[in-house]
Amino acid sequence: MNRPTIPLRRLHALSEREIEGLADVLVDCVEGGASVSFVLPFPREKALEFWQRVARDLDEGKRAVLVAEDALGICGTVQLVLDLPDNQPHRADLVKMLVHRRARRQGLGAALMRAAESTARDCGKTLLVLDAVTGGDAERLYARLGWTRVGSIPNYALMPDGSPCGTTYFYRSVDKHRAHTP
Ligand SMILES: CC(C)(COP(=O)(O)OP(=O)(O)OC[C@H]1O[C@@H](n2cnc3c(N)ncnc32)[C@H](O)[C@@H]1OP(=O)(O)O)[C@@H](O)C(=O)NCCC(=O)NCCS
């Protein structure tokens, strides 16, 4: 399978332009039916507010944010929540894995996941946890990349149209001595 040519980078702060671009990706995903915390209608202001909060967390070192950018702007992103309780200093949550519909099915999701795992190692994290809609595209991606499925909770959240969906939890050890499998 071809590797994507879309470059990835880690952002250590979010500019206004980046917040706008990230909001575009989030709106596209929610309008496309992704269950990523929000329901429809999803005004752009709400997306901007979300990324402004992320920007504040970034400033405080509480998150890591990765983005992919094509000729039209930011087209993919993923985050690590680094700021977890004192008894989990080795762990991070992987959240808001988002690829704009224009950039899907080219391997970008997989590339963002690998980059997030590498960033987690750089941050001294050895265990990652995430959740995904049961039976969705993302669940397939994480299983393909070697993440361990823990189990599913029925009726955990809502799809953007308000219908209920289950959530499946995954974890992955990203110990630096463990090679990436796929
Ligand atoms: C889930 C998501 C991140 C995947 O992103 P993506 O960039 O499409 O991921 P990939 O391209 O790595 O893989 C997706 C599919 O494309 C296929 N693919 C990858 N590269 C390909 C290529 N060059 N040619 C053809 N197919 C390809 C993969 O095999 C995979 O197939 P499958 O879905 O049948 O298993 C994306 O669909 C998305 O953002 N969804 C909405 C938001 C969301 O739900 N996020 C998850 C929150 S937990």
- Taking CA 143 as the corner, what is the angle to CA 139 and CA 119, rounded to the nearest 5 degrees? 95
Q: How many CB atoms lie within 10 A of CB 50?
A: 19
Query: Ligand 1: residues within 6 Å at CB?
Result: 1-2, 29, 34, 36, 97-99, 104-110, 132, 136-138, 140-141
Length of the chain: 182
Question: Tens-of-pLDDT digits for all 182 residues of the chain?
Answer: 555 478 999 999 999 999 999 999 999 999 999 999 999 999 999 999 999 999 999 999 999 999 999 999 999 999 999 999 999 999 999 999 999 999 999 999 999 999 999 999 999 999 999 999 999 999 999 999 999 999 999 999 999 999 999 999 999 999 876 555 54
pLDDT score, position 108: 98
Round to whole Å and give the CA distance between 42 and 27: 7
pLDDT score, position 175: 84
Nearest residue (CA) to ligand 1, atom 23: 106
Give the Å distance between the CA of 109 and the centre of ligand 1: 5
Nearest to 105 by CA among 147, 137, 67: 137
